[in-house]
Structure 1
Amino acid sequence: MTTLRFNKPYQVLTQFTDETGRQTLADYIDMPGIYAAGRLDRDSEGLLLLTSDGQLQNRISHPDHKLSKVYWVQVDGQVSAEALQKLRDGVQLKDGMTLAARAEEIPPPASLWPRDPPIRMRAEIPTSWLQIEICEGRNRQVRRMTAAVGFPTLRLIRYAIGPISLDGLSPGEYAEVEEQPLWELFPKQKASRSRGSNKPGSTARDRGSNRGREKRVRR
């Protein structure tokens, strides 16, 4: 079994094919039998896990497992203490209240890379960087949360999923990771793993030949 961490660039789809010609994972990863474990919006950047283990893919992506995810979020305006507290307490969205989150203002991350294209800056309005940790997986949840407290998201980067982070990866790079730290997040599920097929349940894709399982590849 192979599991990868990948630093997804801006405007790359978390799928391997696209009929309209947009950039996909296939532009960066050529490894048959591996599939994304969860989603990351096209206009978001950062950590995406991929695996050839179907059961692990399900554990990571299934919303019932409440896996912790950490995001770096650049928002429009100088964030207030009141807004941060609302994020921590839970925010009312159209699909219900969010669970309590960890939220704090941070300096711009030291390892931050420039986005291409850059966000649109307004000279008269500052921006703030937040670190937000949630354990839910609703559609565009972090963006909706910051908008609900009055600070729209300008840039969103997923930094970590459970114990796995982006550290050491530039946009477009991937590295192989050990599965054990991820399985330790699901002790009951690990104990009940069957000896059946572990092929992920994603839609099959047409892929080329394997260029090798390098631990670090091109950008």
Structure 2
Amino acid sequence: MDFFRLPNNVTEFVLLGLTQNPHLQKILFVAFMFIFLFTILANLFIIITISLSPTLSPSMYFFLIHLSLLDASLTSISTPKMTFDLLYKRRTISWGGCLSQLFMGHFLGASEIILLTVMAYDHYVAICKPLHYMTIMRQGLCQLLVVVAWIGEILHATKQILFTADLTFCSTNVIDHFMCDLYSLLEISCSDTYRPGIVVAANTGDMALLIFFPASHLLHHLPELPEIP
């Protein structure tokens, strides 16, 4: 079976979108277009500023560059299509586009969550261990933490896609949403959704382990501060 083709030969889904009111659609189009452009330009400005400034070299700014890149990429997954769909009466997305949207949404979204957690530990070290900060949060460790976040979420998103690709859709291909979402697909699928539901729960547990296990290891090996008399 072709990976981008449904078992029942349904090759696209119909998205109901946010609203069917033509006047409200025009208002939302302007609002979302402004928000999207502002988000992209703001994150681009952050990346350029940090990259060109020699004083913004500590690890917290290194993480901030990656966070801005993830934020801009995550915003670009569904917002442009959702915005321009407001101009059309019939809104569709292909099966391949649906899988791509699902994969990138889970990949970038979960990567951003892990990176925010890493930034929280980075700030913990900066506040609680200021004299050891540059030694602990060295460039090699920062790069390793970013790589772990990306690899972990590639595995997380791949699991979601592998089970989604096996779903069968019998009676309808209409999704009551403005984007292709895993739970929306499970609602209209005529397959047994128990197994994919277990996978989603297991993936959440995997994310928790990926976040807290390295963190506990890092905090355990932090140098102790001298006791205050």
Q: Which has the higher strand share?
A: 1
Query: When the two structures are superposed, what TM-score results if normalisation uses the length of structure 2?
Result: 0.24
Query: When the two structures are superposed, what TM-score results if normalisation uses the length of structure 1?
Result: 0.25
Q: Which has the higher helix share?
A: 2
